[in-house]
Amino acid sequence: MTIQLTKYIPPNSDPISEKFICYIMDGGKKTIARKIFADMLKEMEKRGHANPKETFKHAMESIKPSMEVRPKRVGGAVYQVPFEVNPKRQQMLSFQWVLKSAKARKGIPMYKKLAQEILEANEGTGNAIKKRDDVHKMAQANKAFAHLARFT
């Protein structure tokens, strides 16, 4: 007999939002993280976005990196070798970059910082988008070492 456990997801939520709430969570306080997320959506709605969840999803899609570099040691030298990023890691990196850049802003509540960062990412600007672009530039610059990827 096997018991299959399923996660409880509130009816007005979706898996991407729940995953982001878990990244916001600090010290096991999920109710506080949910409140921050809900306030962030309200703030985005106040700033003129009719469907804040769709805006959030679009911003997360635009932040996801497609390539990144990893160090590989070949023959005594360390090369930065470009690799494709798998979808789970893309999502993880986009969440981390948004939260890190939001936490770097000082003087305003977290939900406003998150709303501002996500709206900027939706427009194609902001620190998280800059981070993604930097990672892509690094991968592009080290394209010459792509043949070393087979030495894993």
- C-alpha–C-alpha distance, residues 136 and 152, integer Å: 21
Residue 13: its pLDDT value, please? 78
Q: What is the pLDDT of residues 4-29, one digit of tens each?
A: 655 555 667 789 999 999 999 988 89
Assigned domain for 78 exists: yes
Assigned domain for 10 exists: no
Mean pLDDT of 36-65: 93
User: Which CATH number do you get for residue 27?
Assistant: 1.10.455.10
3-state helix, strand, coil in the chain (%, to 5): 60, 10, 30
Assigned domain for 8 exists: no
Q: Which domain holds residue 59?
A: 15-150
Number of domains forming the structure of the chain: 1
Average pLDDT over all residues of the chain: 89
